[in-house]
C-alpha cells in the first residue's frame, strides 16, 4: 500500500522479552541470553516473528539496564557478545527478527561520556549532557535547581555536581543523565552505535522514551505547583509534559532515518508518552520517514488516580472509556499510520489482572478474551512474556520485597510524607508496581518454576505450580494455544491485517465488539468483558441483527471462540467470538 515497509509491519507479531526474568541458563538467578536461545522453539511454536529484548547492555542496573554504561558491551550477567551473535543467528534461521532496546534519551552516570562530562567544564564531553547554572542559592548557601521539574524516579529532575558547580538534567533517576541531542556529536555517536548493532544483524529497535530527546531550549517551570507533595503525581506528569515532543524531535528522527535506518531492513517502534493521535501521525505516518509505529499510553492511563497521584491507584477503568480510546487510535491512524497493540509490558501490570479477571474461575477465559480483542484490531500486536500463559499480578507483603526504583520512590514520596497510608499504598503497589511484570517467567511446576536453579533475583509469583508454560502447552484450551491460533488467524486473513475498524457498542460497560471490513471481507469480534452472562442479538452473527448494527455481510462463519461450545445470542462470562464473512453480493 502506501509504504514499502507496510507489508513487513502488518504480518509482524512481536514478543517482548525482559531478559533478566526470562530464563537463567547458568544458575546465578538472573535470566540470560543463552536462556533465550533455549526457548526459541517455544517462541517459534507460538508463532511470533519479532523478539524485542529489553536492554542487554552493560549497566550498573539502577533501572535494570535502562541505564546503559556501554552500548557496545553485554551486561555481564546476561552473557557475552558471542552469545548475542549466536542468538541473532539462531533467530534468523527461524525467520525471526531481533529488536534491541535503544535507550538514548539518557545514559548511565557510569558511562564514560558522563564521567568525562563531569570532570570539568571544558572537557570535550561536557556538552554531551544538559548542564545549567543554579537558579540561585538558598539562605544557607544551598544551590537551587534551574527549574521546578521533578523526575519520574526522584524528587528533582536536577542533580548538583560539586566539582563543576552546575546541575545536570535527568528526567529519570539521578543515575540516568539526559543526553544533549542539540550536540551533533551526540547524534553521531548514537547513529554509530545503531549501525554497530544493525551490522551484526539485528532487525530494528524499540526506542526508549524517544519523544523526549529534543528538550525545549528555555527550560521554564512546569505549570503545576510541583513543590507541593499533595500533587506530586500530577507534577510528574506536568514535568514530563514539558520535555516530550520538543521542537527538534521530528528533525532528529528524520535525520536518523536518513543517516542510518534507510540503509537497513529495520522495524522501529518508539515509546512516546503523552502523545495524541495527531502526534502519532507525525511520528509514524506512512509518508513521513520517521518511525514505523509508536506506543501510545492513553489506554494504560485511564485507571490513574483521581486524587492526582499519577498511576498510583487500584481503580479500574470503565469499559466504555477503554473502547473509546482504542477506537480513537484505530480510526485516527487508519490509512495514515500504523498502530502498535499492547495490553502490558515490563512497565505495566499484568493484563489479565488489570483488564480481565485473575480469579481461578475466570483467569483463562478472560485472558483469552483480552488476546482476542487485541489481536483482531489493526496494528502490530505485542505479547509481553508470560501474557501468553495468563500470568497474573503478584502481591509482596513488604515494601522491601519490591525491587523497582519507581515503586520505592513512589512509596517514599507518598507514604513517608503522610499523603497515602502504608496499607493503601501497598494496595496501589500490588495493582501497579512494575515488578508485577518482572517476576520470573513461569516455565514449569518445579522449584523456582524452572526459571533458575539458583536463587531468583526477584521472588516468583507463588501461583507458578498452576500457571506455567509446561501446563499451558499441554492443554489445548490454554491461553497459550488460544494466542497461537490468534497469531495464525492474523497471517491467514487479510481483513485482520488491513480492514477498517468500526466500534459497535460505544456505550456498553459489558460488551466490546467491533467490525472490520475490506472490499471483499468482513470480520466481527464480539466479547463479553464481564463475569455476568449477557444477551447480545448478534453474538451468533445473525445477518439481520448485524445489519441493524450497520454491518452488511454474508456467509458468516465462526473462526475463533474461547468456549468449547456455542450459546447462540447469549454471551457467557468473558466469552469472545470472531466471525468472518464476505461483502454482500451486489
Ligand atoms: C522507559 C522504559 C522504562 C524505563 C524508562 C527510563 O519508560 O520502558 O522501563 O524505566 O524508560 O529509561
- Predicted confidence at residue 251, as pLDDT, reads 98
Residues with Cβ within 8 Å of residue 318, at least 6 apart in sequence: 302, 509
Q: Torsions phi, psi of 178, nearest 5?
A: -75, 135
Q: Is 153 in the pocket of ligand 1 (CB under 6 A)?
A: no
- The alpha carbon of 210 and the centre of ligand 1 are apart by a number of angstroms equal to 10
- The answer to whether the CB of 575 falls within 8 A of the CB of 531 is no
Compute the distance between CA of residue 42 and CA of residue 20 in angstroms, rounded to an integer: 18
- Probe target for ligand 1 pocket from 209, 384, 434, with the most ligand atoms within 8 Å of CB: 209
Spatial distance between the Cα atoms of 296 and 288, rounded to a whole number of angstroms? 18
From the CA of 103, give the closest atom in ligand 1: 12
Report the pLDDT value the prediction gives residue 2, as an integer from 0 to 100. 41
d(CA 345, CA 434): 9
172: Cβ below 6 Å to ligand 1? Answer: yes
Query: Given the CA of residue 106, which atom of ligand 1 is nearest to it?
Result: 12
For residue 209, the CA-to-ligand 1 centroid distance in Å is 7
Query: Active site residue: 67, 271, 387, 521, which one?
Result: 271
208 among known catalytic residues: yes
Cβ atoms of residues 581 and 522 within 8 Å: yes
* Res 231: pLDDT: 56
Determine which one of 83, 159, 208, 358 is catalytic: 208
Question: Ligand 1 mean position to 208 CA, how many Å?
Answer: 6
Question: Which residue of 176, 347, 432 sits with most ligand 1 atoms within 8 Å of its CB, as the best mutation to test the pocket?
Answer: 347
Residue nearest to atom 5 of ligand 1 (CA): 66
pLDDT value at position 233? 56
Please report the pLDDT score of residue 430 as a whole number: 98
Ligand 1, atom 2: closest residue by C-alpha: 208
Q: How far is the CA of 233 from the centre of ligand 1 (A)?
A: 17
Ligand 1 contact via 347 beta carbon (within 6 Å): yes
Q: Specify which residues 534 forms β-bridges with.
A: 571
Give me the residues paired with residue 337 across strands. 285
pLDDT reported for residue 236: 80
CB of 171 within 6 A of ligand 1: the answer is no
Mutate to test the pocket of ligand 1, among 54, 55, 59, 63 (most ligand atoms within 8 A of CB): 63
- The whole-number mean pLDDT for each consecutive block of 10 residues of the chain, a chain of 586 residues, reads 62 97 98 98 98 98 98 98 98 97 98 98 98 97 94 93 98 98 98 98 98 94 64 73 96 98 97 97 95 97 92 97 98 97 98 98 98 98 99 98 97 92 98 98 98 98 98 98 98 97 97 98 98 97 95 97 96 98 88
Cα–Cα dist 82/295, whole Å? 31
What is the residue with the minimal CA distance to atom 12 of ligand 1?
66
Query: Does the active-site annotation cover 306?
Result: no
15 CA → ligand 1 middle, Å: 18
CB 131 within 8 A of CB 85: no
Amino acid at each position: 500500500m502506501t509504504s514499502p515497509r507496510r507489508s513487513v509491519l502488518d504480518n509482524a507479531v512481536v514478543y517482548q522479552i525482559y531478559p533478566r526474568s526470562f530464563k537463567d541458563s547458568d544458575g546465578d538467578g538472573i535470566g540470560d541470553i543463552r536462556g533465550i536461545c533455549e526457548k526459541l522453539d517455544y517462541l517459534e511454536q507460538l508463532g511470533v516473528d519479532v523478539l524485542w529484548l529489553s536492554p542487554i547492555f552493560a549497566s550498573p542496573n539502577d533501572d535494570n539496564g535502562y541505564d546503559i554504561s556501554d552500548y557496545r558491551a553485554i551486561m555481564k550477567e546476561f552473557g557475552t557478545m558471542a552469545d548475542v551473535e549466536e542468538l541473532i543467528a539462531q533467530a534468523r534461521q527461524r525467520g525471526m527478527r531481533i529488536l534491541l532496546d535503544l535507550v538514548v534519551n539518557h545514559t548511565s552516570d557510569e558511562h564514560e561520556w558522563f564521567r568525562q562530562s563531569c570532570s570539568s567544564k571544558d572537557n570535550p564531553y561536557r556538552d554531551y549532557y544538559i548542564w545549567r547554572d543554579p537558579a540561585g542559592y538558598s539562605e544557607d548557601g544551598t544551590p537551587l535547581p534551574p527549574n521546578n521539574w521533578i523526575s519520574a524516579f526522584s524528587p528533582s529532575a536536577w542533580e548538583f555536581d560539586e566539582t563543576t558547580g552546575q546541575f545536570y538534567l535527568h528526567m529519570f533517576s539521578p543515575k540516568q543523565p539526559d543526553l544533549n541531542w542539540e550536540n551533533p556529536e551526540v547524534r553521531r555517536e548514537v547513529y554509530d552505535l545503531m549501525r554497530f548493532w544493525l551490522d551484526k544483524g539485528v532487525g530494528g529497535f524499540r526506542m526508549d522514551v524517544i519523544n523526549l530527546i529534543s528538550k525545549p531550549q528555555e527550560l521554564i517551570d512546569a505549570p503545576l505547583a510541583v513543590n507541593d507533595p499533595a500533587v506530586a503525581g500530577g507534577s510528574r506528569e506536568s514535568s514530563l509534559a514539558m520535555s516530550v515532543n520538543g521542537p527538534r524531535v521530528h528533525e532528529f528522527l528524520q535525520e536518523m532515518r536518513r543517516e542510518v535506518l534507510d540503509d537497513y531492513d529495520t522495524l522501529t517502534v518508539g515509546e512516546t508518552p503523552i502523545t495524541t493521535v495527531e502526534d502519532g501521525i507525525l511520528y509514524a505516518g506512512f509518508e513521513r520517514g520517521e518511525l514505523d509505529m509508536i506506543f501510545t499510553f492513553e489506554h494504560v492511563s485511564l485507571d490513574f488516580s483521581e486524587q492526582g497521584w499519577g498511576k498510583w491507584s487500584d481503580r479500574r477503568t470503565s469499559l466504555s472509556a477503554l473502547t473509546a480510546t482504542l477506537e480513537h487510535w484505530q480510526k485516527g491512524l487508519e490509512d495514515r499510520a500504523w498502530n502498535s497493540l499492547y495490553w502490558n509490558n515490563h512497565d505495566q501490570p499484568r493484563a489479565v489482572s488489570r483488564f480481565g479477571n485473575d480469579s481461578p474461575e475466570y483467569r483463562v477465559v478472560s485472558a483469552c478474551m483480552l488476546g482476542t480483542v487485541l489481536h483482531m484490531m489493526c496494528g502490530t500486536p505485542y505479547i509481553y512474556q508470560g501474557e501468553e500463559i495468563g500470568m497474573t499480578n503478584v502481591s509482596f507483603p513488604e515494601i522491601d520485597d519490591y525491587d523497582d526504583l519507581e515503586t520505592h520512590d513512589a512509596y517514599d514520596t507518598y507514604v513517608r510524607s503522610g499523603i497515602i497510608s502504608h496499607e493503601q499504598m501497598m494496595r496501589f503497589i500490588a495493582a501497579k508496581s512494575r515488578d508485577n511484570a518482572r517476576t520470573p517467567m513461569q516455565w514449569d511446576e518445579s522449584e523456582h518454576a524452572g526459571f533458575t536453579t539458583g536463587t531468583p533475583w526477584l521472588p516468583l509469583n507463588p501461583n507458578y505450580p498452576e500457571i506455567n508454560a509446561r501446563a499451558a502447552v499441554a492443554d489445548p484450551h490454554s491461553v497459550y494455544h488460544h494466542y497461537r491460533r490468534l497469531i495464525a488467524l492474523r497471517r491467514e486473513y487479510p481483513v485482520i491485517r488491513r480492514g477498517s475498524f468500526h466500534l459497535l457498542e460505544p456505550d456498553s460497560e459489558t460488551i466490546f465488539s467491533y467490525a472490520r471490513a475490506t472490499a471483499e471481507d468482513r470480520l466481527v469480534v464480539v466479547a463479553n468483558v464481564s463475569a455476568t452472562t449477557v444477551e447480545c442479538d448478534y453474538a451468533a452473527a445473525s445477518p439481520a441483527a448485524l445489519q441493524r448494527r450497520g454491518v452488511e455481510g454474508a456467509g458468516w462463519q465462526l473462526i475463533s471462540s474461547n468456549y468449547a461450545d456455542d450459546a447462540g445470542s447469549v454471551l457467557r462470562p468473558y466469552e469472545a467470538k470472531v466471525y468472518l464473512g464476505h461483502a454482500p453480493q451486489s
